[in-house]
């Protein structure tokens, strides 16, 4: 295959093993693909601060999609543009008000690399501490200093449906929401119209690589648009069924080098 491909990788449950590592085999395949002129980028729901380590580990020099498309930038090239699309401040405060009528554990708002917790929570603060963000705790209606990039509502499984239903009724026009996979019962909210495919479109223009030469890997519902957009949208073996049903193909799981094995075969890299 002499044509260059753009390869977009989700992190959790896709590129990363369950121990949150990139396996040596997959790393070798990615290095060979880049050597042969293919372009590799990360597209994740994570903030930049907790995905930068993998960006560095792979030695990337490409754009990166964070917060499921609410923040897209190129760490090595300012000409690419800096796309930050936060929620409206009034909407954010409204969402907090809404949650107060339901039972929930916590609400977390992130403004780029600043994290705001509605309630103090050592366990959650620990999870969000990757990349050493500035952490503020206190009623979000007062403590939020700007428009959040994303908001997370941590609740019980039986409350998720009720809260999501209400948010849809009240804010459908201005927000997009998704649920995280178990074990965390979390509703994630970003501004309407944002998703990972938006980042892929920008990269496609930047590199002049058409969608039919984009290979994207994912496992969750925040990968749906990206997998649908890419000419080669590949679901992991451990992916949710709705993603497998729209994907062009299904590879092995994230524990079985699914990304590495698939790229090795497709691009005929002869590494594994």
Active site residues: 10
* Dihedral of the alpha carbons of 177, 172, 113, 63, in degrees to the nearest 10: 80
Q: Which residue has the tokens 């206190």?
A: 138
Among 257, 271, 201, 255, residue whose Cα is nearest residue 229: 201
Task: For residue 86, count CB atoms less than 10 angstroms from its CB and return exposed for 0-12, middle for 13-18, buried for 19 or more.
Answer: buried
Contact 260, 28 (CB under 8 A): yes
Q: Which two tokens stand for residue 224?
A: 């749906």
């Amino acid at each position: 295959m002499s044509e260059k491909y753009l390869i977009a990788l989700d992190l959790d449950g896709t590129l990363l093993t369950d121990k949150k590592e990139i396996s040596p085999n997959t790393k070798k395949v990615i290095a060979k693909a880049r050597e042969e002129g293919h372009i590799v980028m990360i597209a994740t729901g994570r903030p930049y601060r907790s995905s930068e380590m993998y960006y560095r580990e792979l030695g990337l020099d490409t754009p990166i999609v964070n917060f499921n498309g609410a923040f897209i930038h190129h760490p090595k090239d300012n000409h690419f543009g800096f796309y930050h699309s936060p929620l409206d401040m009034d909407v954010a405060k409204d969402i907090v008000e809404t949650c107060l009528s339901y039972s929930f554990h916590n609400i977390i708002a992130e403004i780029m690399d600043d994290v705001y917790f509605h309630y103090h929570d050592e366990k959650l603060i620990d999870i969000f501490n990757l990349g050493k963000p500035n952490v503020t705790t206190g009623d979000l209606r007062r403590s939020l200093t700007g428009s959040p990039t994303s908001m997370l509502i941590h609740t019980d499984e039986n409350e998720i449906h009720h809260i999501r239903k209400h948010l849809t009724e009240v804010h459908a026009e201005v927000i997009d929401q998704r649920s995280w996979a178990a074990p965390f019962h979390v509703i994630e909210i970003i501004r309407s119209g944002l998703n990972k495919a938006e980042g892929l479109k920008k990269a496609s223009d930047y590199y002049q690589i058409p969608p039919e030469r984009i290979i994207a890997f994912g496992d969750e519902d925040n990968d749906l648009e990206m997998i649908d957009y890419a000419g080669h949208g590949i679901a992991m073996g451990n992916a949710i069924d709705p993603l497998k049903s729209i994907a062009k193909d299904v590879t092995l799981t994230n524990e079985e080098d699914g990304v590495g094995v698939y790229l090795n075969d497709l691009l005929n890299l002869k590494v594994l």
